[in-house]
Amino acid sequence: MAEYKRVDRKLEFEGRIVKFYSDTIELPDGQTAVWDFIEHKGAAAIVPVNKDGDLVMVRQYRNAPEQYTLEIPAGGLNAGEDMQTCAARELEEETGFKAGKVEHLLDLYTTVAFCNEKIGIYYTEELTPSKQHLDEGEYLNVEVHSLESLVEMILAGKIIDAKTIAAILAYKAKAGR
């Protein structure tokens, strides 16, 4: 494979969630190019499965696609927090359910072309009712759907969130359903 080398990184903007950089990259032919790079602190998500085998989902407004999306519970890592702890915390904060045993499902990078956001995805089949703890300014609805209906929504283009699509299909494969 050809060699690429970052020779400079310049911080262009720092937001609440991400930092935006201009990276100068030395290309295999010796020329340089400037590429965008977005640094993210990482995140975690969880596929919550209730005793009936249905999945607990959240529907919330997302600014980028300018629409409501149906997603698995997820959120950014707090300082010093591991992904599994984050996934369980986000589950309770967003849905009001505590996770029992939490199992790793997969890790993914959301946008490999320009962002290093890595999401650890977990699942739990042990849910205990608790209390929702939404962040300030966070508004969402909790919904319960069968695995089959979620797969149908994915194939119909009604679920557009990449982490949710990957997580549901991976869980379906793992569960053998």
Give rounded-to-5 percent helix, strand, coil for the chain: 20, 45, 35
Beta-strand relationship, 97-99 and 127-129: antiparallel
136 among known catalytic residues: yes
SS3 assignment, position 27: coil
As a whole number of angstroms, the distance between CA 114 and CA 37 comes to: 5
SS3 category, 163: helix
Which listed residue (90, 136, 148, 152) is catalytic? 136
Q: Which residues are catalytic?
A: 136
